[in-house]
Amino acid sequence: MKKIVLLVAFYFASILWGYSLNPTREYKEYPDKYNIKYEEKKVKTKDGFNLNAWVLPATVKTSKTVLFAHNGEGNMADYIQRLSYFLSLGVNVIAFDYRGFGKSDDFKIDNNMYIYPEFIDDMNAMIDFCRNTYVGSLYVYGFGVGAGLAIGVAWHRPEVTKIIADTPFMTLEGLEKKFAALGNGMIVPLAGYEKKYEPFYTIDNPKGKILTQLLIIIADKDWLMTVDEMNKFKKKNTKTTTEIFVIKGSDGKDNFTPDKTRYFSKITPFIKE
């Protein structure tokens, strides 16, 4: 009986691995290790926090920039390979760490928390920074936590042209019910997180003037964020074109690593067109 309980606990823990916040402070490597040019910048949020950001200029002249928002696991140094794939498309790339991650200012992070409302301020500050750093088309890409922020925040911004969201949550209420069913102690910030920033409710609001397209990437075997939820979102969203790219055979924890070429087979034309 004890063995069964342990196996069940391990199963539920494995489901949630990759969804809870797990910040690390030290950067295990930097872009220049891979001959990628970059500048490290500090970006101040409206509530006074300094975010650490990397500006990676394109190797060719371009008016396109991708803002890269990670999933709250580790820090941006863990995703240099993914950053390099975006650079290979001939765009400028700007990556950053949320408060409490990497070299951004200290902020207490509860590992059982899925997301913090303060990350909305972080995303807005980074969009401001992108607007002031590069003039041209701004695309926002996020995965995991970053995907929910990409839709929830960038939707409202007049500077954003397109959004790419890999495994976004749709509503915090929906997540809370799923976490509660597991009895695992995961927390969602229902108090303090404005509904207009939850993707399913975001699209009830006016969109940014030049926002035209959304690309949603979702795994067919993801238990928390499902293809069905994304289809409901697409049906509800009558204000932009929405494409859903389903990754077959994935559980949603990491849709990029198993087949990087296939992952970018949709992203590449989405950015280049």
**pLDDT the model gives residue 191:** 85
**pLDDT the model gives residue 12:** 44
| HSE-up of residue 16 (Cα within 13 Å, Cβ side) | 25
**Is the pLDDT reported for residue 148 higher than 80?**
yes
**Is the pLDDT reported for residue 132 higher than 60?**
yes
Predicted confidence (pLDDT) per residue in 198-244, tens digit: 999 999 999 999 999 999 999 999 989 999 999 999 999 999 999 99
Q: Give bridge partners of residue 42 from the DSSP assignment.
A: 52
β pairing state of 137-143 and 64-69: parallel
Predicted confidence (pLDDT) per residue in 157-206, tens digit: 999 999 999 999 999 999 999 989 887 778 899 889 999 999 999 999 99
Q: Which helix (H) or strand (E) holds 227?
A: helix 227-236
**pLDDT the model gives residue 18:** 54
Percent over 90 (pLDDT), the chain? 87
Q: Superfamily assignment of 2-272 in CATH?
A: Alpha/Beta hydrolase fold, catalytic domain (3.40.50.1820)
If you search the block for the tokens 């409710």, which residue do you land on? 201
**Is the pLDDT reported for residue 5 higher than 50?**
no
Task: Classify the phi-psi angles of 252: left when phi > 0, otherwise alpha if psi is within -120 to 50, otherwise beta.
Answer: left
- pLDDT grade for 13, boundaries at 50, 70 and 90: very low
**Is the pLDDT reported for residue 120 higher than 60?**
yes
If you search the block for the tokens 């409206």, which residue do you land on? 46
**Is the pLDDT reported for residue 8 higher than 60?**
no
Spatial distance between the Cα atoms of 247 and 7, rounded to a whole number of angstroms: 27
**Contact by Cβ (8 Å): 255, 263:** yes
User: Which CA distances in Å does 245 have to 161, 172, 263?
Assistant: 19, 23, 9
Dmax over Cα atoms in the chain, in whole Å?
Answer: 64
**Domains in the chain: boundaries:** 2-272
Predicted confidence (pLDDT) per residue in 46-100, tens digit: 999 999 999 999 999 999 999 999 999 999 999 999 999 999 999 999 999 999 9
Nearest Cα neighbor of 233 from 255, 190, 201 is: 201
DSSP H helical ranges for 44-135: 80-87, 118-133
**Is the pLDDT reported for residue 129 higher than 60?**
yes
**pLDDT the model gives residue 14:** 47
β pairing state of 39-44 and 50-56: antiparallel
Predicted confidence (pLDDT) per residue in 16-25, tens digit: 545 789 999 9
Spatial distance between the Cα atoms of 185 and 189, rounded to a whole number of angstroms: 13
Helix%, strand%, coil% for the chain, nearest 5: 35, 20, 40
Mean pLDDT is lowest, of 117-121, 164-168, 250-254, 263-267, for 250-254
- pLDDT grade for 33, boundaries at 50, 70 and 90: very high
β pairing state of 64-69 and 92-96: parallel
**Is the pLDDT reported for residue 10 higher than 50?**
no
